[in-house]
Amino acid sequence: TLYGLYSTITQGVPDTAMKGFANLSDRERWSLAFYVGSMGASGPLKQRGAALVDKNGAAADLIDLKKLTVVTPAEAAHQYGADGAALMAYLRAEPSRLFGSRTPLAFTRTRLDEALAAYRRGEKEVAYQLAVQAYLEGFELVEQGLDAVDAPLRRQIEEAMTGLRNALRKGSPVTDVETRIAHVDNLLDLAADRLEGRSLSGTAAFASAFFILVREGLEALLVVAALAAFLVKTGRRDGLRYLHAGWIGALGAGVLTWLASVFLIDISGASREITEGVAALTAAAVLFYVGFWLHDKTHAAQWKRFIEGNIRKALTEGTLWALAGLSFIAVYREVFETILFYQALWVQTDSAGKSMALTGLGAGAAVLALLAWLVMRFSVRLPLRQFFAGTGFLMFVLAIVFAGKGVAALQEAGYIPVTPVSFPRIDLLGIYPNLQSLLVQGALLVLALVLWYGLPGKRRAVASS
């Protein structure tokens, strides 16, 4: 095995002329082990392995550093057949494929090459799915780091890859697809120059870690804080334990999902986006209903008597569990992907950068905690009718934001087409320059305005009361 060769090179063989080379660095001894391990394989066998390295066959299990170093060529041939022997021969001769093929940018290039090959064969749907994988399981993982050093380039690459997916979906000529992929490759070269071979500066690591948490956690925090303030304001503090159970459970579930994706199952980028998209749209629907319910109650006749009687009775155990479910959905939809973003950021920083990234994470958490405190402190001081109106308005706004982000997630997963339009992009508000997400958000906005201003009968009832 390669590990056996490494041990022999390190320690030598007692009572022989083979001395140990402990004076070499760890990297040099491993390089020597790979070199010696490749000497027994023929050129044709290595060439055959090169053709297998990007295929998802049974022998693909060998494309793993831990696996490759503890398996002998004979064991590989016995377990995986001729393909196993060929793939091992190639990987021993070209160990860089064990590392380069797993970097996000290299993964993106590989998938784009496969997409082009599939498109040339007329397999348009396969090509489209490969292009989706190139973004979700490759480039998306370095977006945050690239954003910290060159945000315009990040947007350029994102737009170019969206345009490529649209071209594949529409069945554009092969020459057009080739041109688009070549353009993306050139942009990826620029991204590699900005990212590869260097670590993020301390300032960039801090900013990336800070904004990842604030950006991903802001909407969830506002939902949980508003619901907590609602329970306090209506005298149902006993319901806070349900609410806290929801968001704490979401944090735990997100971490468990990440651990499962690392050690147990393969969770694709598309699966992540589908989960996030469905959760966001579900949360949008619930938030919109809650916003309407709160606004509707501000127009109830005999307001004080209604609050003292009906509201407290309405908050049954089932309703409280529903609030817990809403807090769970709002938080869980972001936890898993946030962990992946931090994981990608971690490998882009040196020891000093890691310290600054942790500081940025702490600062982001502090800002979110401060915002939660401010929402709680000042909202509960409002008169009850104004509190209901303000909270209802916030729920409407968050529903529109979640709807935009839900549609965007499903677009990234390839389940909803993307029709670019000339419109500002505001990530914080879930506003993206494409027709589909803007139509959904526009429809919700119109409906919210109708519900907000279109209740004249209820307004007259309030005035008479």
pLDDT digits (tens, 9 = 90+) for 399-427: 888 788 888 878 777 777 778 888 887 87
pLDDT digits (tens, 9 = 90+) for 105-139: 778 888 888 888 888 888 888 888 888 888 877 78
Calculate mean pLDDT across residues 324-335: 75
Q: Of 4-18, 117-131, 135-149, 347-361, give the range with the top mean pLDDT.
A: 117-131
Mean confidence (pLDDT) of the chain: 75
Tokens representing residue 5 in the block: 């060769």
Q: Choose among 67, 82, 181: nearest CA to 135.
A: 181
Q: What is the pLDDT of residue 197?
A: 47
Residue 286 confidence (pLDDT) above 80: no
Calculate mean pLDDT across residues 56-79: 72
Calculate mean pLDDT across residues 337-354: 67
Residue 36 confidence (pLDDT) above 50: yes
Of 85-89, 128-132, 202-206, 456-460, the least confident: 456-460
Q: Which has more pLDDT, 347 or 407?
A: 407
Give just the sign of the alpha carbon dihedral 76, 80, 81, 86: negative
Q: What is the pLDDT of residue 462?
A: 44
Calculate mean pLDDT across residues 13-21: 80
Q: What is the pLDDT of residue 356?
A: 80
User: Which CB contacts under 8 angstroms, 24+ apart, belong to 260-269?
Assistant: 261/336, 268/133, 268/136, 268/137, 269/132, 269/133, 269/135, 269/136, 269/137, 269/140, 269/413
Residue 456 confidence (pLDDT) above 50: no
Q: What is the pLDDT of residue 460?
A: 43
Q: Which has more pLDDT, 372 or 201?
A: 372
Q: Is 139 helix (H, G, I), strand (E, B) or coil?
A: helix
Query: Does pTM top 0.85 for this prediction?
Result: no
Q: Other C-beta atoms within 10 Å of 5: how many?
A: 19
Residue 464 confidence (pLDDT) above 70: no
- Domains in the chain: ranges and CATH: 2-100 (no CATH), 104-195 (no CATH), 202-464 (1.20.1250)
CB 218 within 8 A of CB 368: yes
Q: Which has more pLDDT, 346 or 355?
A: 355
Burial of 13 (0-12, 13-18, 19+ CB in 10 A): exposed
How far is residue 233's CA from residue 321's CA, in Å, rounded to a whole number?
A: 18
